Structure 1
Amino acid sequence: MFNLKNLFARAMLALMLVTGAGAVSAGPTYQVTIDTEGLSGTGKLDFFFGGLESAGAATAYLSNFSGNYGIFELEGDASGDRDTGITLGNSVFFNDYLQTVTLGGIFRFNVMFDFAGEGDGMTLGVALYDEFFTTYLGAEGNLVQFDLLPGSGVTVTAADGVARVAEVPEPASMAMLLAGLMLLGWTMRQRRMR
């Protein structure tokens, strides 16, 4: 009876490991680099997250900021700060994070998304304006744009020469699962040898 319970418990553990491996994999994280070395003075980085009314639930997470940042404003479904990260949701139409910057350097931040696979798409646009918020700097329109399309993933566009976007590599979930199973097998073998 004890062996049957033990076998059943091990089978359930293996089943949970195999079926849960895909669920814990996170979406891609993108590192955005904006180069303002040819500019001087003060500007404003505008992060707008929005979509149609029929868009599914979505959230954009901004973190790991580096650069010469000043004060900021949050509007709509936006919360947080640069130290802990900014969260932009889409529960209202206008969701914005407006960040004052000192131009002439490099600005970096990470972006990650959580969005439903239903409804219409969402867009995160990052634009650079002058200090009066009237003229685009670096490019006409968004320097970086992320289009979230249910069923298609994320499409990224960046202005040449001003902005770069790179996907941050993450460890493969299947490799981690196999390493865990090997460690579990090694532990069980060590117990039997005692």
Structure 2
Amino acid sequence: MFNLKNLFARAMLALMLVTGAGAASAGPTYQVTIDTEGLSGIGQLDFAFLGLESAGAATAYLSNFSGNFGDFVLEGDASGDRESGITLGNSVFFNDYLQTVTLGGIFRFNVMFDFAGEGDGMTLGVALYDEFFTTYLGAEGNLVQFDLLPGSGVTVSAADGVTRVAEVPEPASMAMLLAGLMLLGWTMRQRRMR
């Protein structure tokens, strides 16, 4: 009986290690916050996912949008909507999600990437323009830029004072921690009972 319990415990540990390894390779999720409280009027938030022809397969997932958004336009290998999420692929050179916004508030969204470990890199740049695309707003150039470099991961740069970027902890991480602590407590209790 003791050997069977020991075998079962080891099998459960191996199963937890195997199922947890897939989530770890998915990469982090980033929450981006753009503060336009000092601005007014209509603006254009431009999400451009660009790379060279020799870039490996890559996808950017945009989700959990909050803010005062209007109409949007998708170009290239872009699909989805704000409610279910926007997917930007790199099967063509120019992949873009252009979102009309009402300035004067806070805009938030999450970004997650899936990219191959070979080929040249990709860049997701998020810029804010005025209504007619004549002037950058908030910063000269991209408010936030994610550079996907095979073998190096993701490099993030953000405009100070306007944009904040933070990694979002995986919900499964907390659940796995609690499950591990419960299993540890149960094991210690079983040992005391003997």
Q: What TM-score do the two structures reach when normalised by structure 2?
A: 0.83
Q: Which runs of 5+ in 2 are unaligned?
A: none
Deviates more, 1:17-26 or 1:99-108: 17-26
After superposing on structure 2, the runs of 4+ consecutive aligned residues of structure 1 that deviate more than 6 Å are 1-6, 187-194
What secondary structure does 2:98 align onto?
Answer: strand
| Cα 1:29–1:60 shift into 2, 3 Å | same
Report the CA distance between 1:135 and its aligned residue: 1.5
Deviates more, 1:172-181 or 1:110-119: 172-181
Q: What TM-score do the two structures reach when normalised by structure 1?
A: 0.83
Report the CA distance between 1:179 and its aligned residue: 3.4
Aligned partners of 1:128 and 1:142 also within 8 Å: yes
Deviation per CA, 1:122-148: give whole Å up to 9, x if none.
Answer: 000000001112211111110000000
| Cα 1:92–1:10 shift into 2, 3 Å | same
Deviates more, 1:35-44 or 1:2-11: 2-11
State the alpha-carbon separation in 1 of the partners of residues 31 and 20 from structure 2. 27
Aligned residue in 1 for 2:47? 47
What secondary structure does 1:39 align onto?
Answer: coil
| Cα 1:20–1:165 shift into 2, 3 Å | closer
Report the CA distance between 1:186 and its aligned residue: 4.2
Report the CA distance between 1:14 and its aligned residue: 2.6
Report the CA distance between 1:161 and its aligned residue: 1.0
Report the CA distance between 1:17 and its aligned residue: 3.7
Q: Which runs of 5+ in 1 are unaligned?
A: none
| Cα 1:8–1:139 shift into 2, 3 Å | closer
Deviation per CA, 1:44-88: give whole Å up to 9, x if none.
Answer: 000000101110000000011110000000000000000000000
| Cα 1:172–1:152 shift into 2, 3 Å | farther
Aligned partners of 1:21 and 1:174 also within 8 Å: no
Deviation per CA, 1:71-116: give whole Å up to 9, x if none.
Answer: 0000000000000000000010000000000011110101010111
| Cα 1:98–1:9 shift into 2, 3 Å | same
What secondary structure does 2:134 align onto?
Answer: coil
| Cα 1:26–1:11 shift into 2, 3 Å | same
Instruction: Give the aligned length.
Output: 194
State the alpha-carbon separation in 1 of the partners of residues 150 and 184 from structure 2. 38
Report the CA distance between 1:168 and its aligned residue: 1.0
Deviates more, 1:79-88 or 1:17-26: 17-26
What secondary structure does 1:112 align onto?
Answer: strand
Aligned residue in 1 for 2:91? 91
State the alpha-carbon separation in 1 of the partners of residues 172 and 12 from structure 2. 23
State the alpha-carbon separation in 1 of the partners of residues 47 and 29 from structure 2. 17
Report the CA distance between 1:173 and its aligned residue: 5.4
| Cα 1:185–1:17 shift into 2, 3 Å | farther
RMSD between superposed Cα atoms in Å: 3.4
